[in-house]
Amino acid sequence: MQTINFGIDLGTTNSLIARFNGKNVEVFKNPVGFKETLPSCVAFRGERIIVGDKAREWLVKDPLNVFSSFKRKMGTGENYFVPSNSTFYSPIELSALVLKELKNFIHTSEAIDSAVITIPASFDTMQSNATKKAGYEAGFKEVVLLQEPIAASLAFFNSANEEEATQNGKHWLVYDLGGGTFDVALVSIKENELKIVDHRGDNFLGGVDFDYSFMMEVMVPKLMAQTGLTELKEELPKQNGPYEKLFFILMLKAEEAKKELSVSSSVEVEFTFTTLSGNEHEVYFKVTDQELNACIAEKVSRSIQLIEEVLNANAMLANDVDEIIMIGGSTYIPYVRRMVEEQTGIKTNYSADPTTAVAVGAAYYAASKVKATPVVTDINVSETPTLTNPVSNLPQIKLAYNKHSKDSEEYITGMCQALQGTYFYRITRADGGYDSGFKPLQAKIGEFVLLRKNTLNAFTFKVYTEQHEELPTLQQLLDITQGLFSLSGQPLPEDICIEVDDVHNNTTRCELVFERNSILPISKTIYKEVSRTIKAKSDDQLIINVLEGNHKAHPSTNQIIGLIEINGKQLTADLIKGSDIEIKIEVSESRDVSVKANLLLIDYEVAEVFSPSEKYVSVSKLREEIKEMKNEMDVEIMKATQQEDYEKAQELHLILEKLNELYAKAMQLNEKSLSDEKYQLEEYKRKLAQSYFSNDNTSLSVKVKAEYYENRNTINYWIETFDDVPANLKTEFEQLKSNEANAMATTKSSFLVQGQLKTLNRLLNKMIFFTPTLLTSYYLHYIHLSSDHFKDPSLTKRFAEMGDKALERKNYEELRGVFNQVLANTHHAVSEVKIKGTGLG
């Protein structure tokens, strides 16, 4: 049994590789510069690829061929164009280059084929899978993912003094503000088990954002004043714009100045640059910590807001938290430290190294993780003694031991049954550091085994015959983790749900499968009914759509992470409405999603494993979506106001305001913008959508009202479109509308509204019956429904003949009669057969 030995912090800005050597963790150093950190930066010079410090230095000379911060685009479909070799590189490929470079930090001859790679806690399934893919591309055969706050906690608690860290029931916060992402995790320790209780994060909040604001808000105005380049602010961030080179140079200058401002209150910036038209500019200006603080204030307070959110969500007060463990390079900024402590009132702790904590924790974790790739042992199966009845002749042994120990040795006990004859056993530790020797096997056995500190100890228990020949079938593998803490596993960052039909409301909705913060790996089997018949050989489909995101939200606002389509064409027998379907969903610790569907009645099974690693954000689609949400919100506010639910209207107003802001930002966005803004906006949009949907607007009266407005709009549309709507029905509709304001506004209770809806629906039905165009199209729709919609399918043919004849003669009176009989013969009322949906009830 071997463990995964390397822990890697694949950071936005800096990456590190470390290993636990049995006593402590070694963070490896770059063989050239002797630094522990490798900047996550890749440069291309013709055919040559340079990674790390040298790549960063190259940035100033040839910024268009140097790439960094690509971690923020993991999981997106965005590619980087490299002019130097005219090739596109994905964020996954660039990350793989960084990982390969990290391998060069290891100068022993051992095979580097497995690693624990850390990810932000807020990374969704696609981003996680993209990271794994990068690992495989870099040549690792096995990649285990670990969330960064867990890694940081492991590093902190493994080095904390025992007394402090073992005070049971205590809570800590891990505040990780790095280059590109911010994460805050609420951590607890109970009975030596370390657990992430909850977390919040923003994948677009970090040092790079500070640099960008500092550059745009402080440095560029000074630059403009000195050079007279008035168009600078607007042109600077444009891809392929006239100042593209200057953009990168300035970003670097901004970061340098920012870092210096962590130790002094003002810094001088000085450099020269040449414009495209050949003008050389020499610039010199001063920047101060006050200026920096002013332009990062909003972002810092956003991080603090996320702390509050995580505490509120868990009904905790600042008092309930022991300390905030501060990690990530941006926590060097004095203003950040001050704000976090002042505004939360919680003590901050800097004992974990902000830069290496995550890598160190990853190394601890790696050392406790058994490699999945089977290790070839020296068992020669052909030598297994052939026994006439192997099961009954061999002793049966049950071993008991603690899988986790704080001590330097652990007691293993065993019960032995069906013991006939003489046997021996022997326990050995995988690294050779312990060997029990041959001991006689008895009904009860017990053995103290020695443990290595702070790591996983793998033992093999073997049974031998009297002649000391091994009985391989009785071999057992045991593992015991020694150390202060064990991990209770990694939490899911978001709900996982499946999309099911909501026939009553003519839409689909999410059904929760796994709740956020459930511990991985996790699996569940659910049983659903098929909500409509899928005919064999037809084009009908049953869709199993696995989504990630708030389960209260509408499916369209969540992300698809696994999708199985069962097409009628694949089926040999009809899948009858109401028949059972068994769906098994599993999420592994490394975030592979497996979906297995079993159509029990017709004995048909499909299974697939998903590891989606790309999502695509289009600026125009983003604008469309925000616009749609805005419209929806307008309608909801109107409804709430009419309903005199001013509180709700107010709440919705707040969301609308944010949407308006978002929309304005999205309108300014350029599809080709160099900044990460579109991903930022996309993320905010999703969060807003979720807060809207979790706003419990599914209350009955809202539903009823929604149906009312929908049907009313339908009638409006009919009157506008068809000129054969009878005049008396039009008048009836006008009367109903004049009543509407009353019915909708006078009371909060849904009573009046329901009455109004009933009247409206009666009118709607009358319109269908008495408007020839509508009657014809409804009749044709219903008569062609598949047979399972009818109570007595054998009648349909006759109705069809009668109806067609009536149609031919344009005898609508007769057609009305036929249509009435057709309806009476169906299982459903008119309004229930509208949506396409998933086919899952």
Which of ligand ADP, Mg ion, none binds 520 (CB below 5-8 Å, type-dependent)?
none
Bridge partners for 435 per DSSP: 428
Rounded CA-CA distance 241/549 in Å is 37
Q: Is 11 in the site for Mg ion (CB under 5 A)?
A: yes
Minimum CB separation of residue 185 from Mg ion in Å reads 13
Choose from ligand ADP, Mg ion, none: what does 329 bind? Cβ within 5-8 Å by kind. Answer: ligand ADP
Q: How far is the CB of 336 from ligand ADP (least distance, A)?
A: 8
The CB density around residue 477, as the number of other CB atoms within 10 Å, is: 12
Give the residue with the Cβ less far from ligand ADP, 240 or 264: 264
Q: Dmax over Cα atoms in the chain, in whole Å?
A: 104
Token pair recorded at residue 581: 């379907």
Interactions with Mg ion, residue window 273-332 (CB under 5 A) = none
| Residue written as token pair 């500070």 | 210
Residue 780 three-state SS: helix
Instruction: State which residue, 63 or 179, has the beta carbon closest to ligand ADP.
Output: 179
Residue 543: name the closest of 567, 527, 560 by CA.
567
The residue among 11, 22, 361, 29 whose CA lies nearest residue 174 is: 361
Task: Look at residue 259 and give the partner it binds from ligand ADP, Mg ion, none, a contact being a CB closer than 5 to 8 Å depending on partner kind.
Answer: ligand ADP
Nearest distance in Å: CB 261, ligand ADP: 7
- The rounded distance, in Å, linking the Cα atoms of 556 and 683 is 14
User: The tokens of 335 are what?
Assistant: 């203003």
Span of 174-182, 368-376, 503-511, 823-831 interacting with ligand ADP by CB under 6 A: 174-182
Report if residue 287 touches ligand ADP, rule: CB under 6 A.
no
Nearer to ligand ADP by Cβ, of 359 and 542: the residue is 359
Sole binder of ligand ADP in the list 55, 92, 116, 208 (CB under 6 A): 208
Our CB check for ligand ADP shows the closer of 36 and 499 to be: 36
Asked if 505 interacts with ligand ADP (CB under 6 A), we say: no
- Which C-beta is closer to ligand ADP: that of 173 or that of 208? 208
> Judged by CB, which is closer to Mg ion: 132, or 639?
132
Buried b (16+ CB within 10 A) or exposed e, 481-501: bbbbbbbeebbbbbbbbbbbb
Element (H, E) at 126: helix 125-137
| Part of the chain binding ligand ADP (CB under 6 A), chosen from 205-213, 366-374, 567-575, 651-659 | 205-213
Distance CA 21, CA 460 (A): 21
Interaction partner, residue 490 (Mg ion, ligand ADP, none; CB < 5-8 Å by kind): none
Residue 821: CB atoms within 10 Å: 14
Among 75, 135, 329, 361, binds ligand ADP (CB under 6 A): 329
**Segment interacting with Mg ion, rule: CB under 5 A, options 6-14, 183-191, 251-259, 483-491:** 6-14
- DSSP SS3 for 275: coil
Residue 23: DSSP 8-state: S
Position 122 contacts ligand ADP (CB under 6 A): no
Q: Which stretch binds ligand ADP (CB under 6 A): 254-262, 476-484, 541-549, 738-746?
A: 254-262
Residue of the chain from 119, 154, 333, 815 that contacts ligand ADP (CB under 6 A) = 333
Q: Which residues contact 142 (CB under 8 A, 6 or more apart)?
A: 4, 113, 114, 115, 371, 372, 373
* Side chain identity, residue 721: T
The answer to whether the beta carbons of residues 492 and 518 sit under 8 Å apart is yes
- Beta carbon of residue 295, minimum distance to ligand ADP (angstroms, whole number): 14
- Work out whether 354 is an interface residue with Mg ion (CB under 5 A): no
Query: What end-to-end distance do the CA atoms of the chain give, in Å?
Result: 46
* Residue 182 vs 733, nearer CB to ligand ADP: 182
Instruction: Select from 89-97, 323-331, 396-404, 534-542 the region that touches ligand ADP (CB under 6 A).
Output: 323-331
3-state secondary structure 63-95: HHHEEECHHHHCCECCCEEECCCCEEECHHHHH
Nearer to Mg ion, 354 or 549 (CB): 354
Q: Residue 258 binds which entry of Mg ion, ligand ADP, none, with Cβ cut-offs from 5 to 8 Å by kind?
A: ligand ADP
Judged by CB under 6 A, which stretch of 201-209, 646-654, 714-722, 751-759 contacts ligand ADP? 201-209
Q: Please answer whether residues 364 and 25 qualify as being in contact, where contact means their C-beta atoms are separated by less than 8 angstroms.
A: yes
Indicate the residue among 117 and 662 with the shorter CB distance to Mg ion. Answer: 117
Residues of this chain, 3-22, that bind ligand ADP according to CB under 6 A: 11-14
**CB-nearer residue toward ligand ADP: 1 or 292:** 292
Determine which residue in the list 127, 355, 454, 486 makes contact with ligand ADP, applying CB under 6 A.
355
Q: Taking CB within 5 to 8 Å according to partner kind, which of ligand ADP, Mg ion, none is near residue 14?
A: ligand ADP
Contact 731, 779 (CB under 8 A): no
Tokens of 357: 């904590």
Residue with Cβ nearer ligand ADP (292 or 456):
292
| Helix/strand/coil percentages in the chain, nearest 5 | 40, 25, 30
- CB 562 to ligand ADP: min, Å: 29
The helix or strand, by DSSP H or E, that contains position 57, with its residue range, turns out to be helix 53-61
In the structure encoding, which two tokens stand for residue 139, read together? 């040549």
Q: Which of 171, 233, 259, 623 binds ligand ADP (CB under 6 A)?
A: 259
DSSP 385-417: PP-SSHHHHS-EEEEE--SEESSSEEEEEEEEE
CB closer to Mg ion, 151 vs 471? 151
State which of residues 19, 258, 532, 678 lies at the interface with ligand ADP (CB under 6 A): 258
Question: Minimum Å distance from CB 328 to ligand ADP?
Answer: 4
Kindly indicate which of the ranges 203-211, 376-384, 688-696, 795-803 contains the residues binding ligand ADP, using the contact rule CB under 6 A: 203-211
Angle between helices 148-159 and 357-367 (to 10 degrees): 90
Among 3, 114, 153, 330, binds ligand ADP (CB under 6 A): 330
Q: What is the CB neighbour count within 10 angstroms for residue 797?
A: 10
**Min separation Cβ 753 and Mg ion, Å:** 53
590 touches, from ligand ADP, Mg ion, none (C-beta below 5 to 8 Å by class): none
Q: Which lies closer to ligand ADP via its Cβ, residue 255 or residue 677?
A: 255
Considering beta carbons, is residue 11 or 237 the nearer one to Mg ion? 11
Query: Which partner from the list Mg ion, ligand ADP, none does 299 bind, CB cut-off 5 to 8 Å by kind?
Result: none
The b-or-e profile of 655-679 (16+ CB within 10 A means b, else e) is bbebbeebbebbeebeeeebbbbbb
CB 385 within 8 A of CB 26: no
Residue 332 touching ligand ADP (CB under 6 A): yes
d(CA 345, CA 447): 50
Nearest by Cα to 325 from 453, 450, 183, 172: 172
- Residue 118 or 457 having the CB closest to Mg ion: 118
User: How near is the Cβ of 516 to Mg ion at its closest, in Å?
Assistant: 22
Residue 179 engages ligand ADP in binding (rule: CB under 6 A)? yes
Give φ, ψ of 447 to 5 degrees.
Answer: -150, 130
Residue nearest to ligand ADP (CB): 207
Smallest distance from the beta carbon of 287 to ligand ADP, in angstroms?
Answer: 13
Please enumerate in sequence order all residues whose Cβ is within 8 A of that of 364, keeping only pairs 6 or more positions apart, or say none. 7, 20, 25, 151, 154, 155, 158, 454, 455, 483
Cis before 521? omega within 30: yes
**Cβ closest to ligand ADP, residue 63 vs residue 180:** 180
In contact, 68 and 247? CB cutoff 8 Å: no
**Residue 695 is encoded by which pair of tokens?**
């706003």
For residues 431 and 409, the answer to whether their CB atoms sit within 8 Å is no
When binding is defined by CB under 5 A, the residue of 178, 237, 491, 839 that contacts Mg ion is: 178
Q: Could you list the residues that contact ligand ADP (CB under 6 A)?
A: 11-14, 178-180, 206-208, 255, 258-259, 262, 328-330, 332-333, 355
Query: Residue numbers of the site for Mg ion (CB under 5 A)?
Result: 11, 178
